[in-house]
Amino acid sequence: MTEATQVERATFGESVSGTFNALVDPGGVARCASKKGFWIFPLALLCIAVLVVSLALVPVTLRVMELNPPPNLSREQFANALPAIRAATYGFSIASPVLIVGILLLSAWLVGIACSMMGVKIGFSSIFSLLSACSIITVLQVIAGYAVIKLKGDEIESVQQLQPPFGLDIFFDSLKGIPYALLNFFSLFEVWYIIMLGLSLAALAKTPKGKAFLVISPAWFIPLVFRLIGAAFQR
Protein backbone atom coordinates (compact mmCIF):
# COMPACT_ATOMS: atom_id res chain seq x y z
CA MET A 1 0.00 0.00 0.00
CA THR A 2 2.85 2.35 0.79
CA GLU A 3 4.48 1.61 -2.55
CA ALA A 4 1.24 2.32 -4.43
CA THR A 5 0.87 5.61 -2.62
CA GLN A 6 4.42 6.59 -3.62
CA VAL A 7 3.64 5.81 -7.25
CA GLU A 8 0.51 7.98 -7.14
CA ARG A 9 2.18 10.96 -5.47
CA ALA A 10 3.91 13.41 -7.79
CA THR A 11 7.56 14.05 -7.14
CA PHE A 12 8.89 17.60 -7.23
CA GLY A 13 10.52 16.87 -10.58
CA GLU A 14 7.23 15.60 -12.01
CA SER A 15 5.42 18.68 -10.74
CA VAL A 16 7.93 21.00 -12.37
CA SER A 17 8.14 19.13 -15.68
CA GLY A 18 4.39 18.57 -15.80
CA THR A 19 3.73 22.25 -15.16
CA PHE A 20 6.01 23.41 -17.97
CA ASN A 21 4.55 20.71 -20.23
CA ALA A 22 1.31 22.71 -19.94
CA LEU A 23 2.93 25.25 -22.26
CA VAL A 24 3.30 22.89 -25.22
CA ASP A 25 2.50 19.26 -24.37
CA PRO A 26 -1.08 18.42 -23.28
CA GLY A 27 -0.24 14.71 -23.02
CA GLY A 28 2.73 15.44 -20.79
CA VAL A 29 0.72 17.44 -18.26
CA ALA A 30 -2.13 14.91 -18.41
CA ARG A 31 0.22 12.10 -17.39
CA CYS A 32 1.10 13.93 -14.17
CA ALA A 33 -2.12 15.77 -13.29
CA SER A 34 -3.83 12.78 -11.65
CA LYS A 35 -0.99 12.29 -9.15
CA LYS A 36 -1.40 13.50 -5.59
CA GLY A 37 0.13 16.85 -4.77
CA PHE A 38 0.90 17.71 -8.39
CA TRP A 39 -1.01 21.00 -8.09
CA ILE A 40 1.17 22.38 -5.27
CA PHE A 41 4.07 23.62 -7.41
CA PRO A 42 2.09 25.35 -10.20
CA LEU A 43 -0.34 26.92 -7.73
CA ALA A 44 2.51 28.21 -5.55
CA LEU A 45 4.23 29.62 -8.65
CA LEU A 46 1.04 31.42 -9.69
CA CYS A 47 0.39 32.85 -6.21
CA ILE A 48 3.96 34.08 -5.83
CA ALA A 49 3.94 35.72 -9.27
CA VAL A 50 0.61 37.45 -8.66
CA LEU A 51 1.63 38.59 -5.17
CA VAL A 52 5.02 39.99 -6.22
CA VAL A 53 3.70 41.76 -9.33
CA SER A 54 0.63 43.14 -7.50
CA LEU A 55 2.80 44.64 -4.75
CA ALA A 56 5.31 46.00 -7.28
CA LEU A 57 2.52 47.76 -9.19
CA VAL A 58 0.90 49.39 -6.15
CA PRO A 59 2.82 52.70 -6.63
CA VAL A 60 1.74 52.83 -10.29
CA THR A 61 -1.85 52.01 -9.35
CA LEU A 62 -1.92 54.74 -6.70
CA ARG A 63 -0.50 57.30 -9.13
CA VAL A 64 -3.19 56.39 -11.68
CA MET A 65 -5.86 56.72 -8.99
CA GLU A 66 -4.55 60.18 -8.09
CA LEU A 67 -4.80 61.17 -11.75
CA ASN A 68 -8.35 59.80 -11.92
CA PRO A 69 -9.99 60.49 -8.54
CA PRO A 70 -13.60 59.35 -7.96
CA PRO A 71 -16.06 61.92 -9.38
CA ASN A 72 -17.81 62.29 -6.03
CA LEU A 73 -14.61 63.42 -4.27
CA SER A 74 -12.71 66.65 -4.61
CA ARG A 75 -8.92 66.45 -4.92
CA GLU A 76 -8.64 67.65 -1.32
CA GLN A 77 -11.01 64.96 -0.10
CA PHE A 78 -9.16 62.37 -2.13
CA ALA A 79 -5.84 63.50 -0.65
CA ASN A 80 -7.28 63.09 2.85
CA ALA A 81 -8.53 59.60 1.98
CA LEU A 82 -5.26 58.60 0.30
CA PRO A 83 -3.69 56.87 3.36
CA ALA A 84 -6.75 54.62 3.68
CA ILE A 85 -6.78 54.00 -0.08
CA ARG A 86 -3.07 53.13 0.00
CA ALA A 87 -3.59 50.68 2.86
CA ALA A 88 -6.57 49.08 1.08
CA THR A 89 -4.59 48.75 -2.16
CA TYR A 90 -1.70 47.04 -0.42
CA GLY A 91 -4.17 44.85 1.49
CA PHE A 92 -5.90 43.78 -1.72
CA SER A 93 -2.53 42.98 -3.30
CA ILE A 94 -1.53 40.83 -0.33
CA ALA A 95 -4.89 39.05 -0.45
CA SER A 96 -4.75 38.50 -4.23
CA PRO A 97 -3.37 34.91 -3.96
CA VAL A 98 -6.36 33.98 -1.78
CA LEU A 99 -8.69 35.34 -4.45
CA ILE A 100 -6.81 33.40 -7.12
CA VAL A 101 -7.12 30.13 -5.19
CA GLY A 102 -10.82 30.79 -4.59
CA ILE A 103 -11.46 31.36 -8.30
CA LEU A 104 -9.55 28.19 -9.22
CA LEU A 105 -11.50 26.12 -6.69
CA LEU A 106 -14.81 27.51 -7.92
CA SER A 107 -13.78 26.94 -11.54
CA ALA A 108 -12.72 23.35 -10.81
CA TRP A 109 -16.03 22.68 -9.07
CA LEU A 110 -18.07 24.08 -11.95
CA VAL A 111 -15.97 22.23 -14.54
CA GLY A 112 -16.57 19.07 -12.49
CA ILE A 113 -20.32 19.66 -12.65
CA ALA A 114 -20.09 20.19 -16.41
CA CYS A 115 -18.09 16.97 -16.73
CA SER A 116 -20.73 15.04 -14.77
CA MET A 117 -23.50 16.45 -16.98
CA MET A 118 -21.58 15.59 -20.15
CA GLY A 119 -20.49 12.13 -19.00
CA VAL A 120 -16.79 13.00 -18.81
CA LYS A 121 -15.15 10.86 -16.13
CA ILE A 122 -12.56 12.90 -14.25
CA GLY A 123 -12.16 13.73 -10.56
CA PHE A 124 -12.13 17.14 -8.89
CA SER A 125 -8.48 16.87 -7.85
CA SER A 126 -7.40 16.11 -11.43
CA ILE A 127 -9.40 19.07 -12.74
CA PHE A 128 -7.88 21.35 -10.10
CA SER A 129 -4.40 20.05 -11.00
CA LEU A 130 -4.98 20.80 -14.70
CA LEU A 131 -6.22 24.31 -13.93
CA SER A 132 -3.21 24.90 -11.69
CA ALA A 133 -0.74 23.56 -14.25
CA CYS A 134 -2.15 25.57 -17.15
CA SER A 135 -1.91 28.68 -14.98
CA ILE A 136 1.79 28.73 -15.95
CA ILE A 137 0.49 30.57 -19.02
CA THR A 138 -1.20 33.09 -16.73
CA VAL A 139 2.14 33.54 -14.93
CA LEU A 140 3.74 34.45 -18.27
CA GLN A 141 0.98 36.97 -18.95
CA VAL A 142 1.40 38.53 -15.50
CA ILE A 143 5.13 38.92 -16.04
CA ALA A 144 4.67 40.27 -19.57
CA GLY A 145 2.07 42.77 -18.36
CA TYR A 146 4.40 43.98 -15.62
CA ALA A 147 7.22 44.42 -18.13
CA VAL A 148 5.03 46.50 -20.46
CA ILE A 149 3.81 48.74 -17.63
CA LYS A 150 7.34 49.32 -16.34
CA LEU A 151 8.60 50.14 -19.83
CA LYS A 152 5.82 52.67 -20.39
CA GLY A 153 6.43 54.28 -17.00
CA ASP A 154 4.70 57.66 -16.69
CA GLU A 155 2.76 57.05 -19.91
CA ILE A 156 0.35 54.96 -17.84
CA GLU A 157 -2.41 57.41 -16.91
CA SER A 158 -5.60 55.34 -16.73
CA VAL A 159 -6.85 52.14 -15.12
CA GLN A 160 -7.41 50.67 -18.58
CA GLN A 161 -3.70 51.11 -19.38
CA LEU A 162 -2.88 48.91 -16.37
CA GLN A 163 -4.15 46.01 -18.50
CA PRO A 164 -1.72 45.95 -21.46
CA PRO A 165 -3.07 44.65 -24.78
CA PHE A 166 -1.88 41.21 -25.89
CA GLY A 167 -4.55 40.43 -28.46
CA LEU A 168 -6.92 42.14 -30.89
CA ASP A 169 -7.30 44.97 -28.38
CA ILE A 170 -3.96 46.31 -29.58
CA PHE A 171 -5.76 47.47 -32.74
CA PHE A 172 -8.67 49.08 -30.87
CA ASP A 173 -7.00 51.35 -28.32
CA SER A 174 -9.83 53.87 -28.66
CA LEU A 175 -12.31 51.41 -27.14
CA LYS A 176 -13.25 51.91 -23.51
CA GLY A 177 -15.02 50.04 -20.74
CA ILE A 178 -16.69 46.69 -21.36
CA PRO A 179 -15.94 46.40 -25.13
CA TYR A 180 -12.23 46.94 -24.47
CA ALA A 181 -12.28 44.58 -21.47
CA LEU A 182 -13.84 41.87 -23.64
CA LEU A 183 -11.15 42.13 -26.30
CA ASN A 184 -8.42 42.53 -23.69
CA PHE A 185 -9.51 39.38 -21.87
CA PHE A 186 -9.20 37.13 -24.93
CA SER A 187 -5.49 37.82 -25.32
CA LEU A 188 -3.00 35.50 -26.97
CA PHE A 189 -2.22 34.17 -23.49
CA GLU A 190 -5.87 33.46 -22.68
CA VAL A 191 -6.46 31.69 -25.99
CA TRP A 192 -3.28 29.69 -25.39
CA TYR A 193 -4.55 28.79 -21.89
CA ILE A 194 -7.96 27.67 -23.16
CA ILE A 195 -6.42 25.52 -25.91
CA MET A 196 -3.93 23.81 -23.60
CA LEU A 197 -6.50 23.24 -20.86
CA GLY A 198 -9.00 21.74 -23.27
CA LEU A 199 -6.44 19.45 -24.92
CA SER A 200 -5.00 18.41 -21.54
CA LEU A 201 -8.41 17.51 -20.16
CA ALA A 202 -9.25 15.58 -23.34
CA ALA A 203 -6.00 13.60 -22.96
CA LEU A 204 -6.49 12.90 -19.25
CA ALA A 205 -10.19 12.00 -19.40
CA LYS A 206 -9.84 10.26 -22.80
CA THR A 207 -12.77 12.21 -24.14
CA PRO A 208 -13.38 13.91 -27.51
CA LYS A 209 -11.71 17.32 -27.81
CA GLY A 210 -14.97 19.10 -28.64
CA LYS A 211 -16.58 17.83 -25.44
CA ALA A 212 -13.46 18.77 -23.44
CA PHE A 213 -13.54 22.37 -24.69
CA LEU A 214 -17.23 22.56 -23.80
CA VAL A 215 -16.83 21.38 -20.19
CA ILE A 216 -13.88 23.72 -19.47
CA SER A 217 -15.89 26.82 -20.37
CA PRO A 218 -16.48 27.76 -16.68
CA ALA A 219 -12.69 28.02 -16.26
CA TRP A 220 -12.53 31.07 -18.52
CA PHE A 221 -16.09 32.34 -18.18
CA ILE A 222 -15.80 33.12 -14.44
CA PRO A 223 -12.67 35.30 -14.81
CA LEU A 224 -14.33 36.99 -17.79
CA VAL A 225 -17.33 37.93 -15.65
CA PHE A 226 -15.03 39.42 -12.99
CA ARG A 227 -13.19 41.39 -15.67
CA LEU A 228 -16.40 42.77 -17.20
CA ILE A 229 -17.80 43.74 -13.79
CA GLY A 230 -14.58 45.61 -13.03
CA ALA A 231 -14.68 47.36 -16.39
CA ALA A 232 -18.26 48.49 -15.77
CA PHE A 233 -17.11 50.52 -12.76
CA GLN A 234 -14.05 52.05 -14.41
CA ARG A 235 -14.10 55.65 -15.43
Taking the alpha carbons at both ends of the chain, their separation in whole angstroms is 59
Nearest residue to 199 (alpha-carbon basis) of 189, 211, 209, 190 = 209
When mean pLDDT is compared across 30-34, 52-56, 202-206, 214-218, the lowest value belongs to: 30-34
Torsion of the alpha carbons at 179, 181, 184 and 185, rounded to the nearest 10? -120
pLDDT reading at 1 higher than 50: no
Q: What is the pLDDT of residues 155-186, one digit of tens each?
A: 888 877 888 889 887 888 777 888 888 888 99
pLDDT of amino acid 235: 56
Q: What is the pLDDT of residues 78-112, one digit of tens each?
A: 778 888 888 999 999 999 999 999 999 999 999 99
When mean pLDDT is compared across 2-6, 44-48, 140-144, 213-217, the lowest value belongs to: 2-6
pLDDT of amino acid 5: 42
DSSP states of 159-182: SGGGS---SGGGG-TT--HHHHHH
Percent with pLDDT over 70 in the chain: 96
CA gap 22, 19 in Å, rounded: 5
Q: What is the pLDDT of residues 192-203, one digit of tens each?
A: 999 999 999 999
Mean per-residue pLDDT of the chain: 88
Nearest residue to 111 (alpha-carbon basis) of 86, 92, 129, 128 = 128
pLDDT reading at 3 higher than 70: no
pTM: 0.86
DSSP states of 89-158: HHHHHHHHHHHHHHHHHHHHHHHHHHHHHHT----HHHHHHHHHHHHHHHHHHHHHHHHHHHHHGGG--S
What's the average model confidence in pLDDT over 50-57?
A: 94
What's the average model confidence in pLDDT over 35-63?
A: 93
Q: What is the pLDDT of residues 120-155, one digit of tens each?
A: 999 999 999 999 999 999 999 999 999 999 998 888
